[in-house]
Amino acid sequence: MRIQLLFALTLQAGAFALIGSMTSSAQSASTDQAAYQRADALIKQMTLDEKLQLIVSNDPFIDSPGGGAGYVKGIPRLHIPDLNMSDSSTGSGSKNQLSTTFPATIAIAASWDRQLSFDYAAQIAHELRAQGFGMGLGGGTNLARDPRGGRIFEYLGEDPVLAGEMLAQRSLGTQSAHVIATIKHFAGNNQETNRMGGNSQVDERTLRELYLTPFEIAVEQAHPGSVMCSYNRLNGDYACENEHLLTDILKHDWHFEGMVQSDWGATHSTAKAINAGLDEEEGSEPGPTYFNRIDVLFALSSHQITQDRIDDMVRRKLYAMITSGLMDDPPKAGGKIDFEAATAFAQHAEEQSIVLLKNEHAQLPLAASRLRSIAVIGGHADIAVGTGGGSGDTLDPVSGFLTDCGGLQFGLHAGCDWWRTPWLKLAVPIVKAIQELAPDAAVKFGGNGDLDDPYRAYSKQEIDDAAVLAAKSDVAIVVVNQPAGEDFGEQASLGLANPSNQDALVEAVAGANPHTIVILENGNPVLMPWKDRVSAIVEAWFPGEGGGRAIARVLFGKVNPSGKLPLTFPARNEDIPTWGKDGSIAKDPVYAEKLDIGYRWYDAKQIKPMFEFGYGLSYTHFAYSNLVVSNAADHSMTVSFELKNDGPVTGAEIPQVYLGIRDQNEPPKRLVGWSKILLQPGESRKVSISISPRMQSIWSVDENGWKFIPGSHVYVGASSRDIRLQKD
């Protein structure tokens, strides 16, 4: 019943208002001076060594049995608990405790559902607590500047407002379970190539309007306990010793009250980093590199840093522990996890995140009663689904991995450590789930490839056999996969390169059967040279442990797809903003495109994408009418219109509001608000979306602040290009 209620709440998220159930103790406590007073009282009782103990984490595999990412030893005499940390992008990253793998974070962004993002985070946080973890490191939000990026699957898309709103709800959901939320990677960490030291060169206006906005929204709305600074340099200084970033912007301009922690290995100095605003070094064996006792004591004795700054570092740590509820309710390892309920939620989350990209001649939903034979081809769909790799993945999933080690060597890691094979075994894989919904049809699987080397190219014989199977079937479903992960780097191309002939597999099957459906399992946009030859395309992302049933339920109409793309899918590699002359990835990227990333780039350059940002089809149809724009004296704006489901089935629509800001440097339009509305057939509803003055402003370098620009053009649409209503 709890899960059903959770599901029912998912579609009820409003435009910019925070839903009452989302309000956490962390948010209300953020302005409570009692937290400061309590932290200060504890600091006065600490020895200097105890203070230094709280500004570093050590290797959890040596110091703690949790199998997580970091460990800070508590102070029992002051009732300060130990703090275990875990990666948690798509589920707990414990190396030695079973965890649920939920859909990739990019899938949650595709739901455009604030409540779902909150619930998703809360589900993960409950598992973290049951495993003894008090901090979740899963709040990634670096924008998809280059759609080839290796970690896009664990982020929230290409738009700063969508990413920020979804991240805020994720942070609130995490801290609702008394787990400290971390948001990362701050900032300019928008590629994996040379990520450990590359210098991201971003002008101040672009930095503020795009790359910092998701963090700013999350800090303002959710008050996460921690911000993690990134590996890269930003305009010359390493992010973790960048005073302008950590102190001027984060702590001064945004009034951030929590702690700044480094990424693992991202600290490069003692005094410079501490003075710039870094509060905690995340270390590993044999211990912290720069915030160790000897170096910090030397910096103190030589007056490079002050005792007041050390106290501030500790205060911020304690404040995060107090306001998240962790201090008074620390987690205990060995808690019970209801994996059946968690998998049911994972299935639900995936169902709300699938995007229907093409549905020619209403190929979908499939009618089980009319089918006698179904071919499912490729992607190990008889046993597994694709999953991202690195810290954005679970390390010990309940259902297990397809093989113990992948045949392909991924970046710096070889498949058996924290970067495992990118195939998640399912209790109910796609083939079995389809058979459940079409019990009278013969469901046959083919074209699997090699289990020992999951990315070996399909042989000509395998492709020929797949085409024969497709020709003998009423419908053919082809599953294709695009790998991605931390340290994987950027894709050389957005094509389906692993195995290199997945495109050939789709072409052969489509040539043999006009009723061919393609299922995409990926974290990045992909090229589709076969798009016009298949009847339907379903974007499933990396779908998690409930993915098999979720995909099947969408195929057979048990669920009406409602996801919308959080990323632009280009028609060609050469169309992407960062392609340049030859598609090479700069080691020290210059953000020369400035504000024109994602859909903004395609609009500004008048390039037609294959599928635009905000795009997604439904099994029903929605009509928009009666646009009214109201402007208040305080410069806030309300955009109201009628939305009607004039199609045959119940469905959810995501009407999006864009503004054309009247400034010569701004892109043609930018997203400023949206809502997700569930409507019965024939039902109409008035939708009102509030737009704050901040969303109508630009960053003025001269004034060092936000400048309101009056007279924006208002666009309301079903996507960034499917504009239904507009008004000056």
- Say whether 523 sits in a helix, a strand or coil: coil
- Report residue 442: phi and psi, to 5°: -85, 110
Q: Which of 556, 482, 555, 489 minimizes the C-alpha distance to 521? A: 482
The full 3-state SS of 167-180, as one line of letters, equals HHHHHHHHHHCCCE
Q: Are 685 and 629 in contact (CB under 8 A)?
A: no
Buried b / exposed e along 679-699 (16+ C-beta atoms within 10 A): beeeeeeebebbbeeebbbbb
Using alpha carbons, list the distances in angstroms from residue 358 to 193, 523, 599, 601: 33, 18, 19, 23
Which tokens hold the place of 215?
Answer: 């963090």
Task: Give the dihedral sign, CA 398/403/408/413.
Answer: positive
How is the chain split among helix, strand and coil, in percent rounded to 5?
30, 20, 45
- Do residues 692 and 19 touch, judged by C-beta distance below 8 A? no
Spatial neighbors of 466 by CB under 8 A, at least 6 apart, are: 375, 377, 378, 446, 447, 458, 478, 505, 508, 509
**Do the Cβ atoms of 665 and 210 come closer than 8 Å?**
no
Question: Is 263 among the residues known to form the active site?
Answer: yes
β pairing state of 705-708 and 677-679: unpaired
Catalytic residue among 119, 237, 263, 503: 263
- Tell me the Cα Rg of the chain: 25
Preceding omega of 187 cis (within 30 degrees of 0): yes
Both tokens of 213, joined, read 């906005």
Tokens of 656: 């999006």
Q: Which residues are catalytic?
A: 263
